[in-house]
Amino acid sequence: MADNSGSATGLLAVIGGGVIGLTCALAAADAGWRVRVFDAGAEHRAAWVAAGMLGSLGEGHPGEDELLALSTESVRRWPQLLSRLGGHSVLAAADSLFVAASSADAEHLDTLADFVWARRPRAQDDLRRVGPTEIRRLESAVSSRLHSGYLAIGEGAVDNRRLLAALREALLAAGGEVIERRISDLAELADADDILVAAGLGTSALVPEVSLHAAKGEILRLRRTTWSVPPPTHVVRARMHGRAVYLVPRQDGVVVGATQYEPFDETAFAPDVGGVTDLLSDAVDLMPGLRTYELAEAGAGMRPCSVDGLPIIRRIDERVLVATGHGRNGILLAPYTAHVVLDVLRGAAGRRTVGATNASDAINQGVSR
């Protein structure tokens, strides 16, 4: 990510030490800015609970053409970010396996694949249909009763918590600062030349013209025991009788996710029993050996969603810019976002990525991440 082509222009204050704030901060530090990150703490950070999937092919939901294009662009930028974080084993899986439990589930996957193939001519090479035998060859511990699926090559995942630690470490090594402090008013940052507000859902409180809403998601962390089958080596994204569930490998187990719905209360961070029950039931149907794993953590997070489902990356005034609204894709879109933020900081026209899709539509389609 190191990039010295732009002229450094003083002190950049970044509000938010989630995946977006830290990735942008690191890119700016590499490009010569003095960077100071202010963060209110990890307690309700979406990036802390997330699964860490880097999906573009699997994120190809009909109607979300622009999101597919941005995701593809960001996936292209991920190897550079990983190599910038060198030495940190943040990669959790290299490829994804999409599987369907029934013929109706398979039809749903076919629709997604047709959409991606129509928009990405070369996607035929990266996304190919697989039958039950090949599914079991790729992942021997998944259910023997699966109907069919797709293998998405190069659609991997990172360990989100290791990623956050690696970003922070790289930023500090590059001369940046991270200060644990909630910012209540931008006026508190009078000494900053530029201010990037990347505070996830907290952005609207600081920049009221940015409109966001939450999409809540339950997510589980299961730990392997001595008696357990090993975790999968792919991200396994399943459609189980109309419901989506995924398994993302970790060194010590698997992340099972995730529900997605509009919460009555955006401050209710406790996981709902219904969401946890559905995830557990679908996960053990998908991979029966998970019964011997320990339920290490049941959590929930609020995805920061924009009105049209696309990230908001733009200048607000001469000193302030925002990067937020990444919804279900903030980890995936982090390198792309950092690239656009640098452009905006360097004086390229303030821009907002726009699109046709409404975030609520995505939620109502049952898109799960």
Ligand X SMILES: Cc1cc2nc3c(=O)[nH]c(=O)nc-3n(C[C@H](O)[C@H](O)[C@H](O)COP(=O)(O)OP(=O)(O)OC[C@H]3O[C@@H](n4cnc5c(N)ncnc54)[C@H](O)[C@@H]3O)c2cc1C
Coil, strand, or helix at residue 86? coil
When asked if residue 200 is in the footprint of ligand X (CB under 6 A), the reply is yes
Considering only 95-103, 120-128, 168-176, 197-205, which stretch makes contact with ligand X by CB under 6 A? 197-205
**47 binds ligand X, rule: CB under 6 A:** yes
Closest contact distance (angstroms) between CB of 4 and ligand X is: 25
Which amino acid appears at position 24 of this protein? C
C-alpha distances out from residue 229 to 253, 287, 291, 292, Å: 10, 10, 10, 8
CA–CA distance, 2 with 64 (Å, rounded to integer): 31
For ligand X, the closer CB: 31 or 359: 359
Candidates 81-89, 102-110, 322-330, 342-350 — which segment interacts with ligand X by CB under 6 A? 322-330
Beta carbons of 214 and 266 less than 8 angstroms apart? yes
- Measured from the CB of residue 103, what is the shortest distance to ligand X in angstroms? 27
- Using CB under 6 A as the binding rule, whether residue 224 contacts ligand X is answered as no
Regarding 19 and contact with ligand X (CB under 6 A), the answer is yes
Helix (H) or strand (E) holding 304: strand 294-305
Please name the residues in contact with 177: beta carbons below 8 A apart, sequence gap of 6 or more: 35, 36, 37
Q: Which is nearer to ligand X, 147 or 338 (CB)?
A: 338
Bridging pattern class, strands 34-39 and 11-15? parallel
Residue 301 interacts with ligand X (CB under 6 A): yes or no: yes
Closest CA to 255 of 201, 219, 307, 208: 219
- Is there binding between residue 41 and ligand X (CB under 6 A)? yes
Cα–Cα nearest to 104, from 74, 141, 45, 148: 148
**Residue from 219, 222, 276, 286 that binds ligand X (CB under 6 A)?**
219
CB 274 within 8 A of CB 138: no
Query: Based on CB atoms, which residue is closest to ligand X, 219 or 367?
Result: 219
Distance CA 163, CA 169 (A): 10
Both tokens of 330, joined, read: 């903030």
Q: Quick one: tokens of 121? A: 């001519």
**Least separation, in Å, of the C-beta of 132 and ligand X?**
26
The contact pattern for ligand X, residues 59-98, with x = CB under 6 A and - = no contact, is ----------------------------------------
Structure tokens of 54? 């880097």
Judged by CB under 6 A, does residue 337 bind ligand X? no
Q: Is 196 in the site for ligand X (CB under 6 A)?
A: no
Minimum separation from the CB atom of position 259 to ligand X (A) = 8
Q: Is 202 in the site for ligand X (CB under 6 A)?
A: yes
Nearer to ligand X by Cβ, of 289 and 309: the residue is 309
What one-character-per-residue DSSP string does 196-262 give? Answer: EE--GGGHHHHSTTS--EEEEEEEEEEE--TTSPPPPSSEEEEEETTEEEEEEEETTEEEEE---B-
Stretch that binds ligand X, among 86-94, 105-113, 125-133, 327-335 (CB under 6 A): 327-335
Residue number, 41 or 79, with CB nearest to ligand X: 41
Among 149, 249, 257, 289, binds ligand X (CB under 6 A): 257
Q: How far is the CB of 72 from ligand X (least distance, A)?
A: 14
Q: What residues form DSSP beta bridges with 99?
A: 149, 238
- Interacting residue with ligand X among 60, 156, 217, 309 (CB under 6 A): 217
Q: Does 15 bind ligand X (CB under 6 A)?
A: yes
27, 53, 106, 280: which one binds ligand X (CB under 6 A): 53
Size of the site for ligand X (CB under 6 A): 42
Side-chain half-sphere exposure of 165, counting CA atoms within 13 A: 9
Q: Point out which residues bind ligand X (CB under 6 A).
A: 15-21, 38-41, 45-47, 49-53, 182-183, 198-200, 202, 206, 217, 219, 257-258, 301, 303-304, 324, 326-332, 369
